[in-house]
Amino acid sequence: MKITCKTIAQNLTRTELLVVFARKDRRPKLPAGVKVPQPALASFDGEEREVRFIDCSDGPVERLLLIGVGEGNGIDPETLRRCGAIAAKKAEKTGAGSATLWFDLPAGKRAESLGQALAEGAVMGTYRLTDFKSDAEPAKLKRLTIQGGSADFKRGAERGEIIGAANCLARRLQDSPGNLMRPRDLVAEARKVAKLSPRLSVEILDEKAMARLGMGSLLSVSRGSSEPAYLIHLVYRPGRKKGDRKVCLVGKGLTFDAGGISLKPSPKMDEMKYDMSGGAAVLGAFQALAGLEPDDIEVHGLVPTSENLPDGKANKPGDLVTAMNGLTIEILNTDAEGRLILADALAYAETNIKPDAMIDLATLTGAVVVGLGHELSGVMGNDEKVIDALVASGKRTGELVWPLPMLDCHKKAMKGRVGDLQNISGAGVGAGSSTGGAFLSNFVGDIPWAHLDIAGSAWGAEDRDYQGGPWGTGVGVRLLVDYLEHG
Ligand code: BES
Ligand code: ZN
Ligand code: ZN
C-alpha cells in the first residue's frame, strides 16, 4: 500500500472511498464538491468509532465513509489511531483500490501527534500475516491518501507511516512460526534492516566470536539446540556530526523457549515462539530510525538470539556458567534462560559500547502477566530518569508502562550458594519479575539502565482495532521511537 500525505489545502483527487472523521454533535464537514444526501449526514451522531457508509451521487468520490471521533475539547491520539485502523480495514473490506482519509477538525498544538496517530493506525490496521496461507489474496487497497489540516499534521502523518510500518515488521517477526524464524533467520532480518539506510550498520557475532569474549552464560543456552546462537549488533549513526546521546537497546531474541531440561508443560507451549518479541521490537525500532533519520542521537541495538531446547548437551539444573563480566551463575532452572542470554549482551554493552543509557526489553517472566496482564509492560532499573522517561513515552504512545520495585531484597534473593549468582530465587520469595530484573542488574555496571518486562504486552492484548487477539502486538517499537526522541 502506497501512502501519500497531504494538507487539506491541497486538491482532493478522485478516489473510490473518502473517509471523513467527524466530531460528535457537529455536522460532518465534507470537502468541496462532494455531494451526498443531506438526511444521511444529519442523522450521523459522531459517537466514538461510529461508522456510516453513504453513496455519493456524483463528484470526485464514489462512496463516503463517516467515522465518529467522539466529543471533548481535544481528540486524543489513541482514539484517532483506532479510527485510522477502522478506516483502513473498512476500505480494504469494501474492495476499494484507493481511499482518502480526510481530517478537517481543529487539532491545535496536537496536530503533529494526531497526524502521526492516524497514519500509525491506518498502517497497523492493515497488518495481516498471509505469508503462510496458500489461498491468500493480495491486498486490494493499493493507494491511501491522508489529508489533514496543517503542515504539522502532514509531517506527523509521514512519521506515523514509518513508525506504523516498523511496528508491522516486529509483528511479522513475532507471528512467524518458530521453525521459520530461527536465530539465523532473525540475523537475516537484521541484515535486511541494516540495508535500509547508509546510517545503519550491523555486525553479527557468531558462537566463536562470543566464546572469545567469554560469553559463557549466553552460549550455555544454545548448547541444547542444533541451531547456533548469535549476537546481533545494529548501529545507527546520525549524519556527519556525532550524536548528543548514545543509547543502547537490548532485546531478548529467544526464537523458541521450550524451557530446556526444566521443560515447560505442553499446553500453550506454541506461544513461546513469541519469546523473541524484545528482539523484534529492537529490529522494528531500527527500521523506524532508517526512515526518520534523527540527527542528534547514536543508537546501538543488541539482540542475543538462541533457542532453548532439551538435549544431551543442554544446561542441567545445578550447572555453573561464567558470564563475560566474570560473574559465575548457578543455573537452578533452565527455563530462566532469558536472563542468561541478556546477562552477556548487557555486559558487552557496558564494556564495549558504553552508552549514556541502556534499555532492555524481554518476555522475561510469567509473573508479569499475572501482575500486569496484557495491556501493560513492567519497568524497573537503576535510574529514575530513564524509568520516568519510559513511563512518559508509554502515556504518549498508548504502550503503557508501569514501574515495579527492584530493591536490595530482590538482589539478595539472587545471590548464589555455589557461584556468585543463581538464576532463580529460592522457593517462597515470590516477586518473580523483580527478582528477574535484580539478576540483570549485575551486568549493567554504572550505566543508567531500565528493564522492560514485556511478557504480557508482547501479544494477546485486547482488541484495539489496530492490534489484538492471539497475535503479536509489536509492543516496544512505538515506545522506543518516542523514548529516543524525548528521553
Ligand atoms: N519466556 C519465559 C517467560 C514467559 C512466560 C513469557 C509466559 C511469556 C509468557 C521465560 O523464559 C521463563 O520461562 N521464565 C520463567 C522464570 C522462572 C523459571 C523463574 C517463568 O516466568 O516461569
Ligand atoms: Zn524460559
Ligand atoms: Zn524465555
Q: Is pLDDT at 187 greater than 90 in this prediction?
A: yes
- The answer to whether the CB of 278 falls within 8 A of the CB of 251 is yes
Tell me, using a 6 A CB cutoff, whether residue 234 lines ligand 1.
no
For residue range 277-287, what is the model confidence (pLDDT) as tens digits? 999 999 999 99
Name the residue of 365, 374, 410, 452 to mutate for ligand 1: max ligand atoms within 8 A of Cβ: 365
Q: How many residues does the chain have?
A: 487
Mean pLDDT of 25-42: 88
Mean pLDDT of 428-438: 97
Mean pLDDT of 258-287: 98
- The answer to whether the CB of 231 falls within 8 A of the CB of 205 is yes
Half-sphere exposure of 38 (CA within 13 A, CB side): 0
Mean pLDDT of 71-94: 93
- The answer to whether the CB of 324 falls within 8 A of the CB of 214 is yes
Tell me, using a 6 A CB cutoff, whether residue 221 lines ligand 1.
no
For residue range 189-213, what is the model confidence (pLDDT) as tens digits? 999 999 999 999 999 999 999 999 9
Question: What is the distance in A from the centroid of ligand 2 to the CA of 272?
Answer: 8
Q: What ligand is nearest to the CA atom of residue 365?
A: 1
Q: What ligand is nearest to the CA atom of residue 366?
A: 1
Tell me, using a 6 A CB cutoff, whether residue 224 lines ligand 1.
no
Q: Is pLDDT at 244 greater than 90 in this prediction?
A: no
User: Who contacts 212 (Cβ-Cβ below 8 Å, separation ≥6)?
Assistant: none
Name the residue of 305, 364, 452 to mutate for ligand 1: max ligand atoms within 8 A of Cβ: 364
Which grid coordinates belong to 449? Answer: 539502565
Tell me, using a 6 A CB cutoff, whether residue 260 lines ligand 1.
no
Taking phi over 0 as left and psi of -120 to 50 as alpha, with beta for the rest, 95 belongs to: left
Distance CA(201)–CA(312), nearest Å, equals 37
Q: What is the number of other CB atoms lying within 10 angstroms of the CB of residue 337?
A: 30
What does the pLDDT read at residue 175? 98
What does the pLDDT read at residue 25? 79
Tell me, using a 6 A CB cutoff, whether residue 472 lines ligand 1.
no
Single-letter amino acid, residue 361: L
Q: Is pLDDT at 162 greater than 80 in this prediction?
A: yes
Q: List Cα–Cα distances, 404 to 219, 307, 391, 457, 484, in angstroms.
A: 29, 28, 11, 15, 22
Tell me, using a 6 A CB cutoff, whether residue 363 lines ligand 1.
yes
Q: Is pLDDT at 26 greater than 90 in this prediction?
A: no
What does the pLDDT read at residue 422? 98
What does the pLDDT read at residue 369? 98
- Angle CA 215–216–220, to nearest 5: 120
Q: What's 130's DSSP letter?
A: -
H or E element that contains 91: helix 77-94
- The answer to whether the CB of 89 falls within 8 A of the CB of 127 is no
For residue range 360-410, what is the model confidence (pLDDT) as tens digits? 999 999 999 999 999 999 999 999 999 999 999 999 999 999 999 999 999
Q: Is pLDDT at 35 greater than 90 in this prediction?
A: no
In the chain, what are the domains?
2-149 (3.40.220.10), 169-486 (3.40.630.10)
- Angle CA 248–479–186, to nearest 5: 60
Question: What is the distance in A from the centroid of ligand 1 to the CA of 464?
Answer: 26
Q: Is pLDDT at 73 greater than 80 in this prediction?
A: no
Q: Is pLDDT at 240 greater than 80 in this prediction?
A: no
- The answer to whether the CB of 44 falls within 8 A of the CB of 66 is yes
Q: Is pLDDT at 17 greater than 90 in this prediction?
A: yes
Distance CA(404)–CA(451), nearest Å, equals 10
Which grid coordinates belong to 79? Answer: 482514539
- The answer to whether the CB of 72 falls within 8 A of the CB of 63 is no
Q: Which atom of ligand 1 is nearest to the CA of 338?
A: 11
Average pLDDT in the chain: 96
For residue range 89-138, what is the model confidence (pLDDT) as tens digits? 999 999 999 999 999 999 989 999 999 999 999 999 999 999 999 999 99
What does the pLDDT read at residue 156? 98
Mean pLDDT of 316-333: 98
- The answer to whether the CB of 225 falls within 8 A of the CB of 308 is yes
Tell me, using a 6 A CB cutoff, whether residue 365 lines ligand 1.
yes
User: Using CA of residue 22, residue 26, residue 30, residue 36, what is the dihedral sign?
Assistant: positive
Q: Supply the Cα-derived Rg of the chain in whole angstroms.
A: 24
Residues with CB under 5 A from ligand 3 (ion): 254, 257, 275, 338
Q: Is pLDDT at 72 greater than 80 in this prediction?
A: no
What does the pLDDT read at residue 239? 83
- The answer to whether the CB of 343 falls within 8 A of the CB of 217 is yes
User: Exposure of 215 by Cβ count < 10 A (0-12 exposed, 13-18 middle, 19+ buried)?
Assistant: buried
Q: Is pLDDT at 71 greater than 90 in this prediction?
A: no
Nearest CA to ligand 1 atom 13: 335
What does the pLDDT read at residue 112? 96
Taking phi over 0 as left and psi of -120 to 50 as alpha, with beta for the rest, 49 belongs to: left
Q: Is pLDDT at 40 greater than 90 in this prediction?
A: no
Which grid coordinates belong to 169? Answer: 515488521
Which grid coordinates belong to 118? Answer: 492516524
H or E element that contains 117: helix 111-125
Considering only residues 56 and 390, tell me which one the structure prediction assigns the higher pLDDT. 390
DSSP state string for 38-73: HHHHHT----TT-EEEEE-SSSSEEEEEEEE---SS
Confidence class for position 58, pLDDT limits 50, 70, 90: confident
What does the pLDDT read at residue 242? 78
Name the residue of 335, 337, 377 to mutate for ligand 1: max ligand atoms within 8 A of Cβ: 335
Q: Which atom of ligand 1 is nearest to the CA of 436?
A: 19
User: Who contacts 3 (Cβ-Cβ below 8 Å, separation ≥6)?
Assistant: 119, 122, 123, 144, 145, 146, 161
Mean pLDDT of 296-322: 98
Distance CA(158)–CA(247), nearest Å, equals 24
Q: Which atom of ligand 1 is nearest to the CA of 262?
A: 18
Query: Catalytic site residues?
Result: 264, 339
Question: What is the distance in A from the centroid of ligand 2 to the CA of 254?
Answer: 9
- The answer to whether the CB of 286 falls within 8 A of the CB of 236 is yes
Reduced to 3 states, what is the DSSP secondary structure of residue 311? coil
